[in-house]
Structure 1
Amino acid sequence: MTYIFDESVRSGVLGHMNGDHSDDNLLIARAFGPDPDVESSTMTGFDGDGGEWLARTPSGEAVEVRVPWPGGAISERPQVRREIVALYDLACEKLGIEARPHG
């Protein structure tokens, strides 16, 4: 059964990702979505199985991107950060971009 995080966790993570990591959202959508040329991406949700982004193509089409967590299913707040960082690293690798260090 898929774990559903409570609203405070979801709003905190989404606010942080969309406020501070919009470039990371874009890289994840480009690497794992159907169109590597998307121009923008917003993280719209997540659960214990993966994250969700809404990306915009150059023509303005909205594309939903769902990506499973690289480490498998999760159920604790600290695991969300770990899995998003892992997705970012994998996206950079897939796109041939050097990932920034994580602190």
Structure 2
Amino acid sequence: MTHSFDPDIIAAILHHMNDDHTDDNLLIVRAFATDGEGEVADAVMTGFDGDGGDWTYTLDGAASEVRVPWPGGPISERPAVRREVVALYDLACERLGIEPRPHA
């Protein structure tokens, strides 16, 4: 069964991703939803659970959604969300041939 996180945890992480990591959202969408093709105008993380994250985005003027599974498999703890989003970022950079920035 898929783990559901507390709504307060979801809201805090979505706020962080959508305020502090807008470029990472775009990168993840470009890598996992479009394979780097087309012009992604915006990307917003809209949710997540123990199996993966959800993003909405605009590609060539059309709104779409993508669900990306966590690279390390299902999770159930809040700290694992950060680990998996960082892993998605790293994989997105690899897919798109971009040098990832160092992680703090």
The normalised TM-score by structure 1 is 0.96
How many angstroms does 1:63 deviate by? 1.1
TM-superposition CA deviations, 1:14-62 (whole Å, max 9, x none): 000000000000000000004632221000000000000001012x211
Mapping for residues 75-86 of structure 1, pairs under 5 Å = 75-86=76-87
3-state SS, counterpart of residue 39 of structure 1: strand
* Percent identity for Structure 1 against Structure 2: 66
CA distance, structure 2, for counterparts of residue 21 and residue 34 of structure 1: 19
How many angstroms does 1:10 deviate by? 0.2
CA distance, structure 2, for counterparts of residue 23 and residue 17 of structure 1: 9
Aligned AA for 1:11?
A
The answer to whether residue 49 in structure 2 is matched with residue 47 in structure 1 is yes
Residue segments in structure 1 that go unaligned for 5+ positions in a row? none
The answer to whether residue 6 in structure 2 is matched with residue 6 in structure 1 is yes
Mapping for residues 1-103 of structure 1, pairs under 5 Å = 1-34=1-34, 36=36, 37=38, 38-58=40-60, 60-103=61-104
How many angstroms does 1:89 deviate by? 0.2
Residue segments in structure 2 that go unaligned for 5+ positions in a row? none
Aligned AA for 2:79?
P
CA distance, structure 2, for counterparts of residue 89 and residue 63 of structure 1: 23
CA distance, structure 2, for counterparts of residue 94 and residue 45 of structure 1: 23
Aligned AA for 2:58?
R
Query: Number of matched residues?
Result: 102
The normalised TM-score by structure 2 is 0.95
Instruction: Indicate if the aligned counterparts of 1:44 and 1:54 stay in contact, CA closer than 8 A.
Output: yes
